[in-house]
Amino acid sequence: MYSDFAGDVDSQKSITDYVFTLGSGAVSWVSRLQKVVALLTTEAEYVAAIEACKELIWLNDSMKELDKKQVTLSLHNDSQSAINLSPVYHNRTKHIDVRYHFIHIRLKDGVLSLMKIHTSQNSADMMTKVITTEKLTRLASVGLLG
């Protein structure tokens, strides 16, 4: 998952991007404006993580119906600051709407693990960034593009 901080010039809203794969194919992806105006890059990345987390849980529930339950759900994020923010709640984050602390609850319950991924390995980056031929070829060769 990835967020483009204040990517929309008119509204100053950030863009949330994520891609979920099953095997070597993409099964769910999103690139859309966030519903709130983020004040910091960390906040934009955190909101994107929440949206991706909700989709991941929905996908996992769908897989359970097919008797394909995942033991551990992992969400990869290239923002270390958003990862660090996720397990905590304090007055400095009070401005973030309570609904966006959804991920905090999932981490605390052990339903989800949030893991760092290097930007160069993040397949969701290509939804809002220019992608080089080299990166496209590399992501395709490791099965991240289907």
Between 48-62, 91-105, 131-145, the lowest mean confidence (pLDDT) is in: 91-105
Instruction: Indicate the range of 23-32, 74-83, 88-97, 136-145 predicted with least confidence.
Output: 88-97
Strand partners, 17: 2, 31
Assess whether pLDDT exceeds 60 at residue 146: no
Per-residue pLDDT, averaged over 17-34, amounts to: 90
Question: What is the pLDDT, as a whole number, of residue 122?
Answer: 77
pLDDT at residue 15, as a whole number: 92
Q: Give residue-wise pLDDT tens across range 36-88.
A: 888 889 889 988 998 999 999 899 999 988 888 777 788 888 889 888 877 66
Residues paired with residue 76 on neighbouring β-strands, in sequence order = 115
Residue 97's Cβ-count burial label (10 Å; 0-12, 13-18, 19+) is exposed
**DSSP string covering 21-83:** EETTEEEEEEEEE-SS--SSHHHHHHHHHHHHHHHHHHHHHHHHHTT---SSEEEEES-HHHH
Higher pLDDT, 120 or 80: 80
Q: What is the mean pLDDT of residues 3-29?
A: 88
Q: What pLDDT was estimated at residue 39?
A: 83
Of the candidate CATH numbers 3.10.450, 3.40.50, 3.30.420, 3.30.1370, the domain formed by 2-122 belongs to 3.30.420
Q: What percent of the chain has pLDDT over 90?
A: 18
Q: What per-residue confidence (pLDDT) applies to 1?
A: 72
Q: Hey, where are the domains in the chain?
A: 2-122
Give 129-132's long-range contacts (Cβ < 8 A, gap of 24+). Answer: 129/4
